[in-house]
């Protein structure tokens, strides 16, 4: 089946620290991969995406590379800010089904 596994949180970092949030997936087809961010009390915002192997998605200093050989899509940022504190969700979508499978989310707390 289709599923996403991401590292459990919370992850607590100091401002300007390096961030990695691990995400691995299983898929019956050839998925597109996404990272969404959810701030407290809000819905989901697309952070970045990648649609084929070796693609790198990037946005606002965050990056993730679609690794087909390891079925992974780890999220990284070189220097986090307090404003990055949120819950991050890894997700996959099988092309043409237009339906997301989400991981359980990783809460990030960044301290000043």
Partner 1 sequence: DAGVTQSPTHLIKTRGQQVTLRCSPKSGHDTVSWYQQALGQGPQFIFQYYEEEERQRGNFPDRFSGHQFPNYSSELNVNALLLGDSALYLCASSSVMNEQYFGPGTRLTVT
Contact residues toward partner 1 (CB under 8 A) are: 4, 36, 42-46, 49, 89, 91, 97-105
Nearer Cβ to partner 1 (51/72):
51
Query: Residue 104: which region, alpha, beta or left (left: phi > 0; alpha: psi -120 to 50)?
Result: alpha
Q: Sign of torsion, CA 84 69 55 35?
A: negative
Give the shortest CB-103-to-partner 1 separation in angstroms. Answer: 5
Residues whose CB is less than 8 angstroms from the CB of residue 42 and which lie 6 or more positions away in sequence, other chains included: none
Residues whose CB is less than 8 angstroms from the CB of residue 72 and which lie 6 or more positions away in sequence, other chains included: 22, 23, 24, 25
Nearer Cβ to partner 1 (17/109):
109
User: Whose structure tokens read 């993730």?
Assistant: 64
Nearer Cβ to partner 1 (31/103):
103
Nearer Cβ to partner 1 (7/17):
7
Give the shortest CB-51-to-partner 1 separation in angstroms. Answer: 10
Give the shortest CB-16-to-partner 1 separation in angstroms. Answer: 28
Give the shortest CB-101-to-partner 1 separation in angstroms. Answer: 7
């Amino acid at each position: 089946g289709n599923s996403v596994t991401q590292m459990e949180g919370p992850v607590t970092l100091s401002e300007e620290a390096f961030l990695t949030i691990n995400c691995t997936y299983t898929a019956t087809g050839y998925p597109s991969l996404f990272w969404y961010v959810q701030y407290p009390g809000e819905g989901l915002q697309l952070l970045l995406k990648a649609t084929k192997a070796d693609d790198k998605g990037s946005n606002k200093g965050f990056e993730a590379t679609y690794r087909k050989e390891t079925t992974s899509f780890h999220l990284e940022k070189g220097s986090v800010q307090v404003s990055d504190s949120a819950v991050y969700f890894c997700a996959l979508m099988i092309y043409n089904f237009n339906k997301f499978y989400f991981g359980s989310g990783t809460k990030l707390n960044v301290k000043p």
